[in-house]
A and B are shown apart, each in its own frame.
Chain A
Amino acid sequence: MLNIHREICGYCGACVSVCPEGALELIDAWLSVDESLCIACGICTKACPLGALEVTDEE
């Protein structure tokens, strides 16, 4: 699953635009993931300039 490190996230939207499933969204400048859409492909983790996103095995 996708883990958002909120203490690192800069709420910039780079990850939102590269997500092929449209699973990410900025709501009130707060990054939100729609788990029903996220396929944990990890593309967003690469786009983040800060390293705030991580795909983990944890449920």
Chain B
Amino acid sequence: MKSDYDILVIGGGPGGALAAWTAARSGCTVCLIEKRPAIGVPVRCAEGVGKELLREYMDPDPRWISADIRRARIVAPDGTAVELDERKAGAEVGYVLDRKIFDRELVWKASEAGADVFVKTRAVAPIIEEGVVKGATVEFCGERKDIRAKVTIAADGVESKFARWCGIDTTVPLREMMSCIQYLVTDIDIDPHSNDFYLGSDVAPEGYLWVFAKGERSANIGIGIPASKNRPEMRAKHYLNRFMKEHYPDGKIIECIFGGDPVCRPLPCTVSDGLMIIGDAARVVDPITGGGIGNAMYTGRLAAEIAARAISAGDTSKEALMPYDTEWRTSKMGKTLERNYKVKEFFITLNDEKLNDLARSIEGINFSDITVMGLLTEIIKRNPKMLIELKGLTNALK
């Protein structure tokens, strides 16, 4: 481990790996540290990613794809199921990955491109000189060492601490932290090409429960509810256990994972002097689906490109790094995040009866050339009763 790099990346998830990979390819010296003893484990994710999104970075490889998803089904509280095929469902269909292999592959690529990778190495404090982030003190197999860098990229995920240590408030409001639990269940009858989403106050209040195919007879079955909805007697795990008992009583649970998923707006600013924040740490998670892999990869790559440019110009100030913040906010991803935040805020106001109404209104619609506004117009045309409910949303999206 050297003590000086152009770029230090903290965190070896897809965002950190893409940042390290991109920076190394642009000729920067890069150090990537991961606090866990292995890349990709434990998995804390439902592992779904859109096909188009993924193809922007690499060709799909059967080694890390568990399921090719062609349909999404949204199940309303009364059981009304809305089926969306691949053409209509956008990022909600795609691949269910095997993150244990996928994450390793990404870090391997970063390493092949020249990045130094260290596992079981955690940042314990930032190095800050005259208000400028200049790297981090890290703990590596019990030893502390300073790693200095021209730019430090915080890719430390949902439980991010690094940006906070640098003076940026990364706290997620309780009602916008989804409290999640997921089982990998085998020996069950499922549609191996469908991702199913269950809604309703009995199933997952203000959240959703998912059944993501993970092969012919296995699935990631999980739930996310706002942390504020957890009650001592009825937490996320209780809702999931009840669903399992009702739907898959004979399924074998061979893995059990937990996690928080921030569905808040992104951080107000994702750069500082010598510092960039990406992925879940920057809170660029889709507020509706809770998906974050594609956005983490996007922000990771973009941050590294801007950082490399800033380093070669000899200026890594906040101002020089700001194009990263501006660019992702004005990108398709940034606009989608803002729109989906508003849609999420609207949906959590709907009670079961309204969700059922909505599902029945959508049932049977021909979704060709669908847009959010087009869908809302069609719903109102078919079910004028929904006009009042949807008015706030249509206004917000204008």
A residues touching B (Cβ–Cβ < 8 Å)? Answer: 10-20, 22, 25-29, 43, 46-51
Contact = CB atoms under 8 A, between A and B. Distances in A.
B179 A14 contact: yes
A20 B259 CA distance: 18
A37 B36 CA distance: 25
Contacts of A51: 230, 232, 235, 237
B171 A20 contact: yes
A22 B164 contact: yes
A45 to B, nearest CB: 9
Interface in B236-258: 236-237, 256-258
B260 A13 contact: yes
Interface stretch (B75-83, B154-162, B183-191, B292-300): B154-162
B230 A47 contact: yes
A13 B36 CA distance: 13
A43 to B, nearest CB: 6
A32 B306 CA distance: 35
Nearest to B223: A49
Given A46-B227, A51-B232, A25 B158 contact: no
Nearest to A51: B235
Nearest to B181: A49
B262 A17 contact: yes
B36 A29 contact: yes
Contacts of B159: 12-14, 16-17, 25-26
B350 to A, nearest CB: 23
A17 B260 CA distance: 8
A25 B260 contact: no
B177 A17 contact: yes
B326 interface: no
Given A16-B161, A50-B237, 14 more contacts: A10-B258, A12-B257, A14-B158, A14-B227, A17-B158, A17-B171, A17-B172, A18-B172, A22-B164, A28-B120, A46-B227, A49-B181, A49-B259, A51-B237
Contacts of A46: 174, 227-228, 230
A50 B161 contact: no
Given A12-B44, A18-B227, A19-B171, A47 B179 contact: yes
Give the 4 A-B CB pairs with smallest separation, nearest first: A14-B260, A13-B159, A10-B258, A47-B227
B230 A49 contact: yes
Nearest to B160: A17
Nearest to B225: A49
A47 B258 CA distance: 11
Given A13-B157, A17-B171, A49 B236 contact: yes
B164 A12 contact: no
A43 B120 CA distance: 29
B180 interface: yes
Interface in B133-171: 157-161, 164, 170-171
24 contacts: A10-B258, A13-B44, A14-B159, A14-B258, A14-B260, A15-B260, A16-B158, A16-B159, A17-B158, A17-B262, A18-B171, A26-B159, A28-B37, A29-B35, A29-B36, A29-B42, A46-B228, A47-B174, A47-B177, A47-B230, A48-B179, A49-B179, A49-B181, A50-B258
Contacts of A26: 35, 159
Contact of A14 (B161, B170, B259): B259
Interface string B254-287: 0011111010000000000000000000000000
B140 to A, nearest CB: 12
B164 to A, nearest CB: 5
A23 to B, nearest CB: 11
B122 interface: yes
Q: Max chain B CB contacts within 10 Å: which of A10, A11, A15, A18?
A: A18
Contacts of A50: 181, 235-237, 258
B174 A18 contact: yes
